[in-house]
Chains A and B, each alone.
Chain A
């Protein structure tokens, strides 16, 4: 069955890099997504990566995909206090809705 795992908490200092990790079990995943949830808000799509890619960069965000280990990571460079949020990893397999992880709460210490 499908399962997406994330650690629940991460704390970093302002200006450092944050790395949020995610593992998934379904090798037929075609797209993998990162969503951000700020306090009191819904989820916002941050970025996604197609399964035939190893890396995708978008400004301060870098997504790395290791298909062999079924491991996905999101790196946020120069982390700011505005990056404090819950980050969800999600996978798409076939014609079914996305499967979300439980979310990683990122706390940025000034």
Chain B
């Protein structure tokens, strides 16, 4: 089976940088995805890493280390609108997504 661990809550101030970590255990591994979900809304896709290294998309970056079964989402120049839950998800042997429990990010003014 698959399991993921990520912090339940993170708080940061506007303009800061925050890193949300995710460690995983899976019987097969194809990649690590990140999704954002605002309160009451649906999850939206942010990024996907299949290979080791850093992927950058605007203010958001995602990193993967397959050897360490570890990844993170980096959010730079935080804005109030970034307050949301962030989920990591692994694509395992069944090529389906298994989601973590989510990290609630609160951005303070």
Do A and B form a real pair?
no
Q: Which residues from chain B sit less than 8 Å from chain A, CB to CB?
A: none
